[in-house]
Structure 1
């Protein structure tokens, strides 16, 4: 009984440590800048105001651009949605091939792709900058879509390959005997069995791509950057007056999509990982 109380107490303390920064940002987004200056950053709001949110969205200067975070937010949406869909689809096909349609050297191919999981993103910066320049995609959202599709392929392939290995080969053999080919087996058998791992992969890719900073700040600049790069530029701006209320609202706008994804899809994420592990 005592050990359980200690464990729950430690977990509660750790939860508080993690939740306090978020709580401070949320509270400051509903306070006025004058109140924050007078009372300090860590204080309960004396008033509840929403003025900072529309200002952060459409009327706030970041890196010389005074159109708020709206442009950068939509840049991230235009980047993360196609990159998530494409990388998940390609990962499903790769996992299907490497687990059920093996060919000479397939294990070597999988091993090489697996190296991409452990390769730091910094190693790929110069090659990507060179390639995007040659393709005419430098400093564009489309260039970042291509980067994240390829960068995420190792993870998605690993997820799907490990999941598909657990599906009995006899199921596919029976389908082949009935005359089903590569694509028919994929669409009629593998995909209907894949919702748990698809959910895991989509959540993983969406949050990872949305929160990624390195490629966005190095490969893009100005109004073509995603929101993570814009928020860092905001925090490093050299202005003498800090509008902490608007800055807090801007940070929350940038954090809302992954927070909502985890809030509504977190249980499915854990369920999908569990099903993939014990299937």
Structure 2
């Protein structure tokens, strides 16, 4: 599908329901759109034009929304309370749920809030922005975390084509909070095409190697293996697409 980025439209939020899941599509004046469902506060599609005017969905996801429930993939999902792995599933004196061997992954699975319905708190609609505010309440002791916490996810699309996700958490006890979103991009718009032609830049002056369990080691200054350096714009090396060996995480 193709179209002209210059053609003007009207900013709007389109809603529909399918198999008990609510979908909200944010559309800006240039017809760029972002679709979010309340199941896991998940981004299911980002449709936009490329530099040549071609229009496509540039994120990975399922065509059938029911598959998000069946397969419980993290595609596009909100991850909380803590994204990533907590070694030995233990924080201070708290034992967290072990859902990755002896470790704790992506906030645990009792419940896993990436696979739970979120509440639409309100919609945002101004002259140059459309957005959603979604909330989820996780109770004291769930997955081993202290404190009842209200997690708020903000999704905002503006007329410049900028899509922003931000999270806040409010707890009645001292606790951990390090959320993330698990959207995977393929800017070609073709999920069958490799991303080795993509150019990447990471604004970070430190890196941390991961061990075989995906747990970050001590942060390091300097440069990692050459094919993992992205402090300036660099094309993705094919070696990154065939092996997890030498994977790094970035910290700023």
**One fold, TM greater than 0.5?**
no
Larger radius of gyration: 1
TM-score interval w.r.t. the shorter chain? Answer: under 0.3
In terms of fraction of residues, the more strand-rich structure is 2
Task: Report which structure shows greater RCO (CA 8 Å, sep ≥6).
Answer: 1
In terms of fraction of residues, the more helix-rich structure is 1
Instruction: Name the TM-score, length of structure 2 as normaliser.
Output: 0.27
